[in-house]
Amino acid sequence: MAIHSFKTAVVDGKINVTARVESTLKKNMSRQAALLDGGVYKSGPGVVIVGGGSGAFHAVESLREVCVAILPP
């Protein structure tokens, strides 16, 4: 499931978080990811990562770093 994100700002040295109350309730803890289709290379081999934990996150970030270095613009 997708991770919630909230607007934040630092005011007078304090972190202010703005969130809809519905998003902070336990019954609304999980939500569907908003997937965007665009900016992706459509041909050639690819990678599918199953899962959404810290391992998956680091795998995606590592792949992005490597792919940016080897793929043409």
What is the per-residue pLDDT across 28-50, written as a single tens digit (0 to 9) for each? Answer: 777 666 666 565 555 666 777 88
C-alpha to C-alpha distance for 6 and 8, rounded to whole angstroms: 6
Percent of the chain clearing pLDDT 90 (strictly above)? 10
Give the count of domains, the chain: 1
Range of the domain at 65: 7-33+46-70
Residue 41 lies in a domain: no
pTM attached to this predicted model: 0.36
Residue 20 lies in a domain: yes
Percent of the chain clearing pLDDT 70 (strictly above)? 66
- pLDDT, residue 56, reads 87
- pLDDT, residue 53, reads 86
C-alpha to C-alpha distance for 20 and 28, rounded to whole angstroms: 11
Residue 38 lies in a domain: no
C-alpha to C-alpha distance for 4 and 29, rounded to whole angstroms: 8
14-18 vs 7-11, strand pairing mode: antiparallel
- H or E segment and range at residue 58: helix 54-70
Contacts of residue 52, Cβ cutoff 8 Å, sequence gap at least 6: 1
